[in-house]
Amino acid sequence: MHDGAVPVLDVRNLKTVFSTRSGEVHAVNSVSFDLRPGELLGVVGESGSGKSVTMMSLLGLLPSPPAEIRGGEVWLGDTDLLTLGEDGLRKVRGREVGFVFQDPMTSLNPVFTVGFQLTEPLRTHLGMSKTRARERAVELLELVGIPDARRRLGDYPHQFSGGMRQRVMIAIALACDPKVLIADEPTTALDVTIQAQILELVKELRQKLGMAIIWITHDLGVIAGIADRVMVMYGGQVAEHGPVRELFANPAHPYTRALLQTMPKIHGARDAKLRVIEGQPPVMGRHPESCPFMARCAHAFDRCARENPTRRDIGAGHDVACHWDHRTGEPVQDLAEVAS
């Protein structure tokens, strides 16, 4: 990974709105980020923060209606994905961008063998012959650590354990050597031992294949171990973003600091209680003009209700969307600070 490298994916001011009976929901509110070759970007935030909706918006995976992309650009190389129709996006999915979904049991088709589901993208996107696609499928299953790969091509998803199904999903996502792999909480439903194996697998695949990865999770511990940069989302927008070590060492947003304080500590007093973030997550995107974290923030003041903060650079590749300066303990005075 090179800091000066041209991003393989560049997302600018993405906005996704859902129409509901009770009004519009701004599920993705001016989200911007980039992804560099060979890099792993961690995306964290609690349920409902907009992590998955953002990534599904990139590839046109949301049902429309009720979802509608209201603005932004999604550059994959020199192509803006938002200008492509369904046929164009279908060619990108799997070929240029692989997607590993949260639940492999609902993502894998139960009536087709694993071999068929692995060879189909190879034949569709790469035009491989049946024989060559089958050989490649065996290679892929071996790559993700499934023993007796050739025999298992004839098995159905229900014949695999949860961890093995997730490995199959990763193999399918990797089939066409995509430039970008998006993994949406792929270890959530797995026990801790299998989670560790999948994370180790991803590290190995990154070293072997050098692909760029977006890893979506609510687990900060996972991000600390595998990510280069981290993007913290809340209320459908980016609250904070920066290199993983810098952000963990110097969290600038009240939400990020609160998240880090909720993590259990191995060392410390036996009777120490786990910290919780008081209050409830916002009713998603109802008031896009104000700060979504305002109701749960100890530093909130009148400006937070009037003006949704834009991201400002605080050095070392680190930016934050907050009207409060964590370093001075005072509201930010300079309104001209650089917005990301």
Q: What is the pLDDT of residues 202-244, one digit of tens each?
A: 888 888 888 899 999 988 888 998 999 999 999 999 999 999 9
283 neighbors 296 (Cβ within 8 angstroms): no
* pLDDT at position 287: 67
In a domain, 67, yes or no: yes
Q: Residue 190 has what pLDDT?
A: 75
What's residue 206's pLDDT?
Answer: 86
Mean pLDDT throughout 83-112?
88
Determine the Cα angle at 251 with ends 55 and 206, to 5°: 45
Angle among Cα 222, 224, 225 to the nearest 5 degrees reads 70
CB atoms within 10 A of CB 333: 8
The answer to whether 118 and 171 have CB atoms below 8 angstroms apart is yes
Instruction: For residue range 264-290, list pLDDT tens digits in order.
Output: 766 655 555 667 777 777 666 566 789
Range name among 12-26, 132-146, 191-205, 232-246 with the lowest pLDDT average: 191-205
The CATH number of the domain holding residue 49 is: 3.40.50.300
Cβ neighbors of 89 (< 8 A, separation 6 or more) are 59, 60, 81
Of residues 289 and 159, more confidently modeled: 159
More confident residue, 126 or 281: 126
pLDDT of residue 274: 64
Q: Looking at residue 196, what is its pLDDT?
A: 86
The answer to whether 235 and 278 have CB atoms below 8 angstroms apart is no
Q: Closest by alpha carbon to 326, among 268, 242, 266, 222?
A: 242
CA dihedral 194, 196, 200, 202 (to 10 degrees): 70
Residue 44 lies in a domain: yes
Rounded CA-CA distance 245/107 in Å is: 34
The answer as to whether 58 is a domain residue is yes
Quote the domain boundaries for residue 104. Answer: 9-111+156-331
With beta carbons less than 8 A apart as the criterion, state whether 28 and 53 touch.
yes
Backbone conformation region of residue 183, classed left if phi is above 0, alpha if psi is from -120 to 50, else beta: beta
| Residue percentage of the chain with pLDDT more than 70 | 91
pLDDT of 334 reads 53
pLDDT of residue 268: 58
- Residue 308: the pLDDT is 93
Residue 251 falls inside a structural domain: yes
For residue 338, the model assigns a pLDDT of 42
Q: SS in 3 state form for 276-324?
A: CCCCCCCCCCCCCCCCCCHHHCCCCCHHHHHCCCCCEECCCCCEECCCE
Joined together, the tokens standing for residue 273 give 């209680």
Q: How many domains is the chain partitioned into structurally?
A: 1
How many Cβ atoms are within 10 Å of 42's Cβ, its own excluded?
24
- What is the rounded distance in angstroms from the CA atom of residue 19 to the CA atom of residue 23? 6
Surface-to-core class of residue 90, CB atoms within 10 Å of its CB (0-12 exposed, 13-18 middle, 19+ buried): middle
Residue 121 lies in a domain: no
Evaluate if residue 8 carries a pLDDT over 90: yes
Structural domain includes residue 150: no
Query: 2 pLDDT exceeds 60?
Result: no
Evaluate whether residue 306 is within a structural domain: yes
- The reported pLDDT for the residue numbered 89 is 94
pLDDT over 90 percentage in the chain: 61
339 has a pLDDT exceeding 50: no
How high is the pLDDT of residue 14? 97
At 286 the pLDDT is 64
Could you read off the pLDDT of 22-41 as tens digits, one per residue?
888 889 999 999 999 999 99
Task: Give mean pLDDT, residues 84-108.
Answer: 87
> Are 51 and 33 contacting, i.e. CB atoms less than 8 angstroms apart?
no
Q: What is the pLDDT of residue 336?
A: 45
- The length of the chain, given as a count of residues: 340
3 belongs to a structural domain: no
**The predicted structure's pLDDT at residue 1:** 46
**pLDDT: which is higher, 333 or 119:** 119
Does the pLDDT of residue 103 top 80, yes or no?
Answer: no
Asked if 69 contacts 16 with a C-beta cutoff of 8 angstroms, the reply is yes
Quote the pLDDT of residue 337. Answer: 45
Cβ proximity of 332 and 324 under 8 Å: yes
pLDDT number for residue 340? 43
